[in-house]
Structure 1
């Protein structure tokens, strides 16, 4: 993400700039630029930036207009909700991210330009930006908060960052069950359903077929296998077929 800079063109509210700084920090974007703002107040922005975002606010670059801010960038993407007409070849956020994060172009500095909160970028500002990104929304409410728009676009780029460089989120999923375990589960479910007279004893294998097909479609994991086995044991205990006690219960 070091090749990406967020440029806020004429932002109206300092608080939104603070939220943008926080979004940048969350997604690993370390360069924030403000173009053409006469009202930016760092003290109003800081509380919404959090401590890490406040560091980015202190290093924010300021330019008198968008044209000056874009000097030195190799690629420029403007964000706009207004599409159609002469605005052709509009990127969706994930399409732009694929282009921005291609390995062979990571040495090219890329600017993501966001317009003011009330009206967005003016036509003469969009003309400075060869590429346009538009975030799809419902037709009834297409206006996004500035920091939300920044976060959405940066997140699509962040998804292309190698996992080794992102925060590890542990998976709580367990391994899939083996065929042997599935057979054991089928056997226990069948015994349990017979015990409570849910299955007819004359041909239980036949009536188990729909349930077996259902279980096969669910892709049962190890912790789910333990849960279902525990339910079967508990039902059998309640029916008097197993002695009570912790040993008769599953530990998921």
Structure 2
């Protein structure tokens, strides 16, 4: 028998049971370094298609692929032992048919080792959610501001601020709940609407630019750590000026290299460092 201790990950049923309980803490990650650091503090890590922007420098999320997200997902899973890991289904990988969605979701999960996938969309995608759930793939649904729909929404704009659009988002949320989604991400919607949906549905809601009344919150790690540039989005709280710290450290390294202060004997092989 192995003597290695086994750390139990937060499971899909455990997250599902957190409705109206302790708040769910969630962040994104797309690589080992950040995933390893945040793992002990969060319940849920999303390998988001936001990696297209923060890792590859693209202007939106539309260009990232199934294979790329599966690879990023594997890196995050390999670096963690506590948080439940979800991977985004990228644009074009699930909208065509439930069958296509299943093939791509199965590939992502089997390749990455993630516990679930996330999809964006309204009531039209509820049958796809049901198809996946019935075949053993847990689904996080995402409504409200949906970055994969930026061209039809006219950009990254808050949603549900008038009665008609608010009602549509409510219908989307209820449809995904009925279809079997176990979590519901509410992004970029009015606070009263997010609160109303949270109180209406039986599954936990995860807010991002939504409401403190949601059952949990998620942000992009690079935004929280001050690694996303000078523009801080309204719904982001920046807990660290990471860019300033890194610039200072790299600047000191560059100065040490130029002056000859680095490397010292202790950093070299075959010679004894001074005591």
Task: Indicate the TM-score class for this superposition, using the shorter chain for normalisation.
Answer: under 0.3
Taking structure 2 as the reference length, the TM-score comes to: 0.23
Taking structure 1 as the reference length, the TM-score comes to: 0.24
Higher relative contact order at CA 8 Å, sep ≥6: structure 1 or structure 2? 1
